[in-house]
Amino acid sequence: MAFDQAEIQALFTRDGRYLCARWGRPVAPVIFGLADESLAVFRDAIRATLADARHPLAQTDPEMGANMLTFFLRGWQELRDLPDLDGLTGQPGLAERLTGSDAEQYRLFRFDPDGTIRACIGFVNMGGRLADAHPGLLAETLAMRAMLSFARDVVPSPELAALIRAAYDPVLPGAATDPSHALRLAARLQA
């Protein structure tokens, strides 16, 4: 069953503000903190998700080198060891906030002047509930959550994949702040 307009609007509304943004530049991912045998699973999930959305993958971003950074940690306290974390995230005290939280992961986006996604930085705490997560499912989940500016966590499904494909339709804007955009997405899902 496809998402309807209200469900789509809820997926992109935080604090009463609607924002649906997609990547505006090719995605150049880099992953930190995984063993070599796990790395391929996560790279393949990113590659498959981008291919399904018909969005390009790149080796490097000309301005930033990598623009999708994912850090796997054994616990939030490891964030304190990351050099210039405040500069990377623009959020002073992030390590302390996450250490005191029950969060399994944290993701933030940077945006280009046109509102499209410029970068996605994700942190995944593998020391808690995610320690026993299936690598394939976790990889797919993280890849899908990085494709759009979701206001809440989403779970991989055929319906979510269809929504991501619809949002990457070149006819639609790369970023939208008007909630009526959800109606346009819903119409594409019903077609």
The arrangement of secondary structure in 23-147, i.e. its CATH architecture, is 2-Layer Sandwich (3.30)
Q: Is the pLDDT of residue 38 over 90?
A: no
Task: Please state the domain extents for the chain.
Answer: 1-21+151-191, 23-147
**84-96: pLDDT as tens digits:** 899 999 999 998 8
Looking at the chain, list the stretches that DSSP marks H as alpha helix, in order from N- to C-terminal side: 5-11, 36-53, 85-89, 94-99, 135-145, 158-167, 181-190
Q: Per the structure block, which two tokens stand in for 21?
A: 């943004």
DSSP 79: G
Under 8 Å between Cβ of 142 and 43: no
The C-alpha atoms of residue 42 and residue 48 are separated, in whole angstroms, by 10
Query: Would you state the pLDDT for residue 147?
Result: 98
The C-alpha atoms of residue 120 and residue 174 are separated, in whole angstroms, by 15
Instruction: Report the amino acid identity of residue 66.
Output: A
**161-173: pLDDT as tens digits:** 999 999 999 999 9
What rounded mean pLDDT belongs to the chain? 94
Q: How far is CA 144 from the centre of its chain?
A: 6
Query: Would you state the pLDDT for residue 146?
Result: 98
Query: Would you state the pLDDT for residue 127?
Result: 87
Q: What is the pTM of this model?
A: 0.94
The C-alpha atoms of residue 112 and residue 62 are separated, in whole angstroms, by 14
Rg (CA), the chain: 16
Q: Is the pLDDT of residue 1 over 80?
A: no
Looking at 54-90, list the stretches that DSSP marks H as alpha helix, in order from N- to C-terminal side: 85-89
